[in-house]
Amino acid sequence: MKINSYAKINWTLDVLYKRDDGFHELRTIYQTVSLHDTLHLTLTDGAIEIACDNPEIPCDESNLVYKAAVKLREVANTDAGAQIFIEKRIPVGGGMGGGSSNAAATLLGLQRLWQVEIDERDLFRIAAELGSDVPLFLLGGTLLGIGRGEEIYPVEEVQCDYLLLVNPRILVSTADAYRNLSQLTRAQAPSIIPFTFFAAREMAKLPLIARNDFEDSVLLTHPQIAEVKQMLSELGALHALLSGSGATVFGVFDNLQTSEQARDAMRRAGYWAECVRTINRSDYQATIFRDND
């Protein structure tokens, strides 16, 4: 069985305040995009084995894919196993949820491979326990995320056919990104996921008015990311923004030719760059499984 494990970007990301449990209260709008890893699942008689074509990825019990498989097996009360090979295309630690997406794809794929059926509430609970970004990949499309980001709600789809993802080949510490934020006590931020956007039916404008609270702190300590944003603007991007806590930046373009020219220029400059489009919820659900490849 082959499974597409899609990446995400954040159209908006607001960090409001630090909660009593030590996490930060977030408001974000997630978007799945066409870049994806591929998971290859093979049924075994009990062992759970992880392998990957990227040496940066640990293939032991610390891998979220392994943890997802173990949790699902416990809840499903089965002794089935699986060999899971991860074919990586999403940059590691790039703010695009690659590991979380792999975990969610594992939960969805193993249900089918093991022929077990898990209650939807249990599935989302498992996903949230694995990580804040994991639940969004159970649904896909454009989603509002609140709490730690793990509580998700489908919203009006945002379509953008000409996105360019650029990664300066550096890692950004999410912990440092939180630590360096200058305002963490805003219990009532003016940009609390702009519910006003929804009321005014302006979701389609998100690609051009998106914002990310992490930008100030991350760009201050990682000037390479600021250089990427500047280059994207000079190459014709209508808007450029950090995804998650970085280091990937997405640029919004109005045509394929300009986005591809920008991609080629960024690659010549030594950056990882890939043209993508948004993936809505129906396309996401229809293309996750690749049984007939």
Q: Is the pLDDT of residue 188 over 60?
A: no
Amino acid at 293: D
pLDDT at 15: 81
pLDDT at 201: 52
- CA distances in angstroms from 209 to 13, 240, 263, listed in the order given: 12, 10, 22
Q: Is the pLDDT of residue 199 over 50?
A: no
User: Which of the residues 8, 67, 71, 229 is marked catalytic?
Assistant: 8
- Is 8 tagged catalytic? yes
Q: Is the pLDDT of residue 194 over 60?
A: no
Q: Is the pLDDT of residue 262 over 70?
A: yes
Q: Is the pLDDT of residue 168 over 90?
A: yes
User: Which of the residues 14, 67, 71, 133 is marked catalytic?
Assistant: 133
**Which domains does the chain carry?**
2-154 (3.30.230.10), 163-276 (3.30.70.890)
d(C-alpha 24, C-alpha 254), whole Å:
35
- 25-65 pLDDT tens trace: 788 899 999 999 999 999 998 899 999 999 999 999 999 99
- 235-244 pLDDT tens trace: 999 999 999 8
- Is 229 tagged catalytic? no
